[in-house]
Structure 1
C-alpha cells in the first residue's frame, strides 16, 4: 500500500483505461461510428425497408429493435441484400401509432429520409398488421411502403392454433412440460434423469417458437423407455425423501407417457414438428428468395 501511495504522489502511475467508464465510452464511440457508416450506406442506396420487433428485457422494459434492409449495388460484387441493425429503443406504448411515430422519429434523428421507405417486415401481431396497426399507420404516411409479414411467425401461429384445437394435443404438450419441470426442480432430480437419458435431454417448451418443440418431443420419441425408468427412479427417490408430492407426480407421469393417446400424439406430432422445423430453417435462411417462399 505504501508503495502504491508513493507512486501516486510521484505520478509514476500511467493511465490504464480499464475502468468501466472508459470501456463504456469506447463501446459508445464505436457504436456511433458503426451507426454513421450504416446511415451513409443507406443514403447511397437511397431506398430501404424496415424490420421491427419488440420484447421486454430483464428489467421489464419494452425494447424495440429496428433493422434496415437495403440492396447493395456494387459493380464488383453485383446486387446483394443487406440487413443492418441500427438500435434498441425503450418504449412505453406498443400501439401501432406509437410504434410508427417512434420509428419515424428515430429515422429523422438519423437524417434518414422516410419518403424513401419502401418495405415493412413485422410479425403478425394485431398491433403490427391490424386495422390500426403499425403497418396501416405507415401506409397512411408512406403509400409505397409495402408490407411483408414474417413467414416464420405466420407458420408459428398456424402450428399454435393446430395444437390448441385438440384436447389430446394440449394434454400431450402439457405432459412434456411437466416432465421437464419435475426433473429440473433440483440437481439431484436432474442427475437421476442423466443416469438413464444420455443422448438427448428433455427441453422446456417455448410459447413463441413452436418448431423448437421438436427437441422436447425428440427426447421421448427415441428414449421413451429411458425416461420412463428415470421417472420411476425419481418416484422411489422421492418416497425415501418423504416428498409425497414429487413421488405422486412422477408416478402419474410414468403412467401417462405409456398411455395410448400420448404415444399416438408423440409419433404424430414428432413427424409434424420435424417437417415444420425443416421448413422454418429454410424460411430463416439468409439466401432464401421470394420464389422459394411461394412454393413453401
Structure 2
C-alpha cells in the first residue's frame, strides 16, 4: 500500500446532525434593541440636552435650511428649531406607540383566552363582536373615535387602543386553539383543572412569545397611525412638539423648503423600522427550531 496516499482524518469527530448549536442573539434582535434603546434614551434625556426651547421661535429665522448656524436641522415656518422639536417630539410619539399597544395587548389577550377556552358558543360571541370593528377600515375608525372624543393625547391613545384590540385577540385565539391540541393541555383538562388554572399555568406562558412579537411590530404601526392623526389635527395639541404635528407644520412650506418636510418623515419611518426589526429579531429568538442544525 502506498504510504503517500491520502488518509481520512478520524481524530476530529464530526458533530452529529440535529445537534443543538450554541445560541446567539439574532442580528435583527440586537439591531432593533439598539435602535429602540436610542429612541427611549432620546425621549428620556430630552430635558437634559442643551437644546433651544422647542415651542419658542423667531420669525426673523424662519425656514432656515439644515446646517444653518445654531440650527443643525434648520427651522420651521415659525422659526422654531427643528432639532429641538424632533428630540422633544420623541416623547409623545413613543407614548402613542407604547400605551395603545399595551392596553390592546392586555385586553386582547384576556378576550382571546376567554374565547379560546370558553367553548364554541363563547368564542363565537366574542370574536363576532370583535369582527364588527374589523368591518371598518382601521384608519377611518381611529379618525372617527378621536374626532368624537376631541383632539388630544388621551383621545389618540383610546382610538388606537380600540382598533388594535381585535387584531391582538385574533392572534391569541389562534395560539390558544393550537395549544388546545397538545398533550399537556388535554392532560390538564383530564385532571380536572379549572379553566383559570389552565389559562394561567399552561396557556399564558405559551402565548406570551408570539403575542410579544406581534405587539412589538404593532408599536411601529401605532407610531405611524398616531402621527397620521396628529397630522390631521386630532392628536397632540399645538404648540407641543410631535412628529405628525411637525409634518403638518412644514407641509405648507413644501415648495419653499422641501428638505424640511423630510426631517419628521424620516423620524417616523426610522421609528417604525426599529420596532419592526425588533419584532423580527424576537421572532427568530423565540423560534427554537432555528437553534438546531439540519
Short-chain TM bin: under 0.3
User: Normalised by the size of structure 1, how large is the TM-score?
Assistant: 0.24
User: Normalised by the size of structure 2, how large is the TM-score?
Assistant: 0.25
Per chain length, whose mean CA-contact separation is higher, i.e. which structure has more relative contact order (CA < 8 Å, sep 6+)? 2
Q: Which has the higher strand share?
A: 1
Q: Which has the higher helix share?
A: 2
